[in-house]
């Protein structure tokens, strides 16, 4: 529904497309194989590039023997630091906070295992693979430093992109003096590798100094100028196409070395080049989640109220860049805590540089916080849910701001009821199923901030009654093709099927980053506004046209719906869009839009999505093998555009949480620094058999402040809370808390033995 004249309404009404559980608009193309992913492109004259990776994690390449590779029939060219031209921009320069330092054969230093040291380009993929195997390297090797006890400690200046590494409010010591008890826990989280199903890939084709790039990307608006800078061409010379991404998880939001090398090879050879990473090459140059070593302490008074919250996180990054996961920021706005002190320290590992991954900071931090809260509840002799409600934050205690909306109480209630939480025995080890498996129930609170990016969009209404709506946005599987389409249709006041909708390439208005769980609000808000801009212009034409039934209604509220513009006060007075355009002799009307968040709202309110997750696990009493048998979450994230897709994202997030709790861990060889489990046999993720029952429930929430449309994100919310819920359920099953994630049989055995002793 398009409302006009555009009021500076805080809370715009969306129309009938939003709120519908439409099936994926891209579904048919995907299941029929018609959806073109980057590596599916094969332009005429295509060459294949495969890079050879360093077998050491730290040192220098002293000799690179390319003779055998070059002698291979089919190999066309081998790029090494010796013959690779300098890029127009130093790849170690940080031009934006989003820029990652990348390795593109500009030096002989080795900074992590798997770093590209040569690129073999060949007529066939097979020849390129074989050629890369024939590259022989000699090294001056330094000992690898991977792990908090081996890496070099440093004091960070920022976490994430720009957040200060330290924060404190209230008087921690004064609060502690009043405390009746405290709990404190130290937990480590491992390196995790994003491992989107679709490996990073590029197909690059140059035409003079014009470049066309097929590359999965979450942030086309950043990638386009970024690529242009590296190659010394104007941004308008870059065409970037990214209609579909096979997952991103944060790792396709910035530019990486391998893909830039593919573009470089194409320029060198004056032919199109494809470079697609193999699975094992995704464990180095394309980011990962920082490892963390965290300490969380809560101090509690005699009434079981939290008095003080302290969170310290030692976080890994690479030897040559500074991105740090903001784990210790996860609890700032979570529970009612008069005193807060959080701080990050950094440790340099000889790995690639980490980056944003699936709720960066919040996932890692909440995995530990939720355990600490559970331990506090146990100490208080209270049920974990009751304890969380007892310490419910009515405002954001880190800054005193009210929440723009917070339906967390309703989430707790909805999920607890669906789960059957009331029957939970307070002590661990009390429940067994009919097969004798120890059963445990645990819970966690979900929270994720609600950022907003300045996305742009365009909408064009045509005289035949159809329209076009577009923004560069990215669908990495989350459903942007569908949810954004719905919002575009509501902006125009039309049926989605009457609109040609387009996203995923750089000729479109900048739809900003598909990240931070902000894409629907930001790009969707822009699309809605673009449609509204069209309707505003249409209304201007109609109300000035003496032949229109809307003539003279310029000061009235008009509504566009189902392709018809009419008076809000009397819907019978109106006419179809086509009639207005026809009489005016106009072929089309173009509208521009930006999503809007009120500046004052940003300063006044704390903005978050919330949720509650309940987990059931079963633990074999002899083998200590853990299975998650039920995960039920309830979430409140403002206005939900597409319930089916929102639930899909939330259940996906909960499965990420299960993956974090029980499966994922990047293991590096202590001596060589090489990743040991760089395939899906060794790097575990849940398969269907691991996921028997995962359910996401949606709780209504009206958020009048977060942005014009009241839309918040659901992409990353589901992982937060889930990790701790599973750990708490394991404790409830067998009484053991483990000192690190993923929860492992050997740690459970150790813990169980300690309990017996
Ligand atoms: Mo994300 S980790 O905001 O793509």
Do 587 and 616 belong to one domain?
A: no
For each successive 10 residues of the chain (757 residues), what is the average pLDDT?
43 79 96 96 98 98 98 98 96 88 97 98 98 98 97 96 95 98 98 97 98 98 97 98 97 97 98 98 98 98 98 98 97 98 98 98 98 98 98 98 98 98 95 97 98 97 98 96 98 97 98 97 97 96 97 92 95 97 98 93 97 98 97 98 98 98 97 96 95 96 95 97 98 98 97 92
Q: Please, what's the b/e burial string for 548-584 (b: 16 or more CB within 10 A of its CB; e: otherwise)? A: bbbeebeebebbbbebbbbbeeeeebbbebbbbbeeb
Of 672, 666, 664, 650, the closest CA to residue 719 belongs to: 650
pLDDT at 2: 58
Query: Is 691 within a domain?
Result: yes
Do 690 and 562 belong to one domain?
A: no
Give residue 637 CA to ligand 1 midpoint distance, Å: 17
- Tokens encoding 366: 């909440």
Q: Answer whether 615's CB lies under 8 Å from 426's CB.
A: no
Query: Domain end: 558, 576, 596, which one?
Result: 596
Q: What are the distances in angstroms from CA 313 to CA 218, 364, 622?
A: 28, 10, 34
Query: Is 336 within a domain?
Result: no
Quick one: which H or E segment has residue 384? helix 384-390
Query: Is 743 within a domain?
Result: yes
Task: Provide the residue range defining the domain that includes 623.
Answer: 401-452+597-757
Which among 370, 575, 616, 716 is annotated as catalytic?
A: 716
Query: Domain end: 571, 596, 621, which one?
Result: 596
Based on the structure, what is the number of domains in the chain?
2
Rounded Cα gap, residues 294 and 588, in angstroms: 58
596 lines ligand 1 (CB under 6 A): no
Query: Is 646 within a domain?
Result: yes
Do 472 and 443 belong to one domain?
A: no
Query: Is 177 within a domain?
Result: no
Do 607 and 742 belong to one domain?
A: yes
515 lines ligand 1 (CB under 6 A): yes
361 lines ligand 1 (CB under 6 A): no
Give residue 107 CA to ligand 1 midpoint distance, Å: 30
Query: Is 662 within a domain?
Result: yes
Atom of ligand 1 nearest to the CA of 516: 3
| 3-class secondary-structure state, position 688 | helix
DSSP letters, 175-215, are HHHT-SEEEEEEEEE--B----SS--EEEEEEETTEEEEE-
Give residue 574 CA to ligand 1 midpoint distance, Å: 45
Query: Is 686 within a domain?
Result: yes
Do 413 and 555 belong to one domain?
A: no
| 3-class secondary-structure state, position 442 | strand
385 lines ligand 1 (CB under 6 A): no
Do 621 and 751 belong to one domain?
A: yes
pLDDT at 11: 40
Of 123, 475, 37, 103, the closest CA to residue 281 belongs to: 103
Do 559 and 470 belong to one domain?
A: yes
Atom of ligand 1 nearest to the CA of 515: 3
196 lines ligand 1 (CB under 6 A): no
Give residue 250 CA to ligand 1 midpoint distance, Å: 4
Q: To which residue do tokens 């999920």 refer?
A: 415
Please indicate whether residue 716 is annotated as part of the active site.
yes
721 lines ligand 1 (CB under 6 A): no
194 lines ligand 1 (CB under 6 A): no
pLDDT digits (tens, 9 = 90+) for 57-72: 999 999 999 999 999 9
Nearby residues of 65 by Cβ (< 8 Å), 6 or more positions away: 135, 136, 137
Query: Is 488 within a domain?
Result: yes
pLDDT at 5: 40
Do 604 and 704 belong to one domain?
A: yes
Do 564 and 710 belong to one domain?
A: no
Of 286, 348, 285, 293, the closest CA to residue 317 belongs to: 348
pLDDT at 426: 96
pLDDT at 13: 65
Rounded Cα gap, residues 473 and 511, in angstroms: 5
| 3-class secondary-structure state, position 726 | helix
Q: Answer whether 622's CB lies under 8 Å from 609's CB.
A: no
Query: Domain end: 577, 596, 615, which one?
Result: 596
- Tokens encoding 414: 């909805």
- Cβ neighbourhood burial of 587 (10 Å; 0-12, 13-18, 19+): exposed
pLDDT digits (tens, 9 = 90+) for 324-338: 999 999 999 999 999
Q: What are the distances in angstroms from CA 269 to CA 45, 72, 557?
A: 11, 17, 61
Of 611, 636, 651, the closest CA to residue 445 belongs to: 611
Identify the CATH number of the domain in which residue 756 sits: 3.30.365.10
Cα angle, residue 358 at apex, residues 354 and 360 outer, rounded to 5°: 55
pLDDT at 423: 86
Do 448 and 482 belong to one domain?
A: no
Of 475, 482, 26, the closest CA to residue 220 belongs to: 475
Rounded Cα gap, residues 740 and 732, in angstroms: 17
Strands (E) in 320-394, as ranges, are: 339-348
326 lines ligand 1 (CB under 6 A): no
Q: Answer whether 279's CB lies under 8 Å from 114's CB.
A: no
Rounded Cα gap, residues 161 and 163, in angstroms: 6
Give residue 249 CA to ligand 1 midpoint distance, Å: 5
Q: Mutation test of ligand 1: which of 100, 289, 358 has the most ligand atoms closer than 8 Å to its C-beta? A: 358
Atom of ligand 1 nearest to the CA of 249: 4
pLDDT at 1: 53
pLDDT at 682: 97
Give residue 599 CA to ligand 1 midpoint distance, Å: 24
Do 499 and 617 belong to one domain?
A: no
Atom of ligand 1 nearest to the CA of 514: 4
360 lines ligand 1 (CB under 6 A): yes
Report the relative pairing of strands 273-276 and 47-53 from DSSP bridges: parallel
Residue 721 carries which DSSP code?
T
Do 436 and 516 belong to one domain?
A: no
pLDDT at 578: 98
Q: What are the distances in angstroms from CA 684 to CA 189, 193, 679, 681, 720?
A: 15, 11, 9, 7, 19
């Amino acid at each position: 529904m398009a409302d006009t004249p555009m009021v500076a309404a805080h809370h715009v009404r969306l129309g009938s497309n939003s709120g519908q559980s439409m099936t994926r608009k891209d579904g048919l193309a995907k299941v029929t194989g018609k959806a073109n992913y980057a590596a599916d492109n094969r332009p005429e004259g295509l060459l294949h590039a495969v890079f050879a990776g360093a077998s050491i994690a730290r040192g220098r390449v002293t000799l690179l023997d390319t003779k055998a590779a070059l002698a291979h029939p089919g190999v066309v060219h081998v790029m090494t630091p010796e013959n690779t031209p300098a890029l127009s921009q130093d790849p170690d320069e940080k031009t934006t906070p989003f820029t990652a330092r990348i390795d593109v054969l500009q030096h002989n230093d080795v900074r992590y295992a798997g770093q590209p040291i040569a690129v073999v380009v060949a007529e066939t993929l097979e020849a390129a693979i074989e050629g890369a195997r024939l590259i022989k390297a000699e090294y001056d090797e330094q000992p690898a430093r991977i792990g908090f006890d081996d890496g070099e400690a440093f004091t960070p200046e920022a976490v994430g992109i720009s957040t200060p590494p330290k924060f404190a409010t209230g008087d921690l010591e004064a609060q502690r003096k009043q405390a009746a008890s405290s709990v404190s826990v130290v937990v480590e989280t491992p390196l995790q590798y994003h491992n989107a199903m679709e490996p990073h890939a590029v197909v690059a084709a140059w035409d003079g100094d014009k470049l066309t790039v097929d590359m999965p990307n979450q942030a086309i608006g950043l990638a386009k100028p970024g690529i242009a800078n590296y190659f010394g061409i104007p941004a308008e010379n870059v065409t970037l196409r990214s209609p579909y991404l096979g997952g991103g998880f944060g790792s396709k939001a910035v530019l990486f070395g391998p893909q830039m090398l593919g573009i470089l090879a194409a320029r060198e050879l004056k032919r199109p080049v494809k470079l697609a990473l193999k699975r094992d090459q995704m464990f180095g140059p394309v980011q990962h989640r920082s490892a963390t070593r965290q300490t969380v302490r809560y101090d509690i008074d005699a009434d079981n109220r939290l008095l003080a919250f302290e969170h310290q996180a030692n976080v890994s990054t690479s030897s040559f860049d500074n991105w740090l996961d903001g784990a210790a920021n996860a609890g700032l706005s979570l529970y009612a805590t008069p005193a807060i002190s959080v701080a990050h320290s950094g440790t340099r590992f000889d790995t690639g540089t980490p980056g944003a991954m699936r709720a960066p900071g919040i996932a890692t931090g909440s995995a530990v916080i939720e355990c600490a809260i559970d331990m506090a509840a146990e100490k208080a002799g209270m049920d974990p849910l009751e304890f969380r409600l007892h310490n419910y934050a009515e405002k954001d205690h880190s800054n005193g701001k009210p929440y723009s909306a917070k339906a967390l109480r309703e989430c707790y209630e909805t999920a607890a009821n669906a789960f059957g939480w009331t029957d939970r025995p307070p002590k661990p080890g009390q429940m067994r199923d009919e097969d004798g498996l120890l059963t445990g129930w645990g819970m966690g609170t979900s929270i994720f901030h609600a950022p907003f990016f300045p996305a742009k969009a365009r909408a064009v209404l045509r005289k035949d009654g159809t329209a076009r709506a577009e923004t560069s946005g990215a669908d990495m599987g989350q459903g942007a093709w569908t949810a954004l389409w719905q919002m575009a249709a509501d902006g125009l006041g039309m049926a989605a099927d009457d609109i040609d909708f387009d996203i995923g390439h750089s000729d479109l208005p900048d739809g900003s980053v598909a990240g931070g769980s902000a894409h629907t609000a930001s790009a969707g808000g822009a699309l809605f506004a673009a449609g509204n801009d069209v309707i505003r212009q249409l209304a201007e034409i109609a109300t000035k046209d003496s032949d229109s039934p809307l003539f003279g209604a310029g000061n009235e509220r008009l509504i566009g719906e189902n392709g018809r513009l009419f008076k809000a006060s009397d819907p019978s007075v109106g006419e179809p869009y086509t009639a207005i355009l026809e009489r005016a002799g106009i072929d089309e009307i173009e509208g521009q839009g930006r999503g809007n968040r009120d500046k004052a709202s940003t300063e006044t309110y704390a903005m978050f999505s919330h949720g509650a997750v309940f987990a059931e696990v079963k633990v074999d009493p002899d083998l200590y093998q853990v299975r998650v048998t039920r995960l039920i979450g309830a979430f409140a994230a403002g206005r939900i555009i597409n319930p089916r897709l929102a639930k899909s994202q939330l259940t996906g997030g909960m499965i990420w949480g299960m993956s974090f709790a029980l499966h994922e861990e990047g293991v590096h060889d202590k001596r060589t620094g090489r990743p040991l489990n760089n395939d899906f046999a060794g790097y575990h993720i849940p398969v269907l058999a691991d996921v028997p029952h995962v359910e996401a429930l949606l709780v209504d929430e009206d958020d009048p402040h977060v942005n014009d449309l009241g839309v918040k994100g659901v992409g990353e919310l589901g992982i937060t809370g889930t990790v701790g819920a599973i750990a708490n359920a394991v404790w409830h099953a067998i009484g053991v808390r483990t000192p690190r994630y993923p929860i492992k049989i050997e740690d459970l055995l150790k813990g169980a033995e300690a309990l017996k002793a």
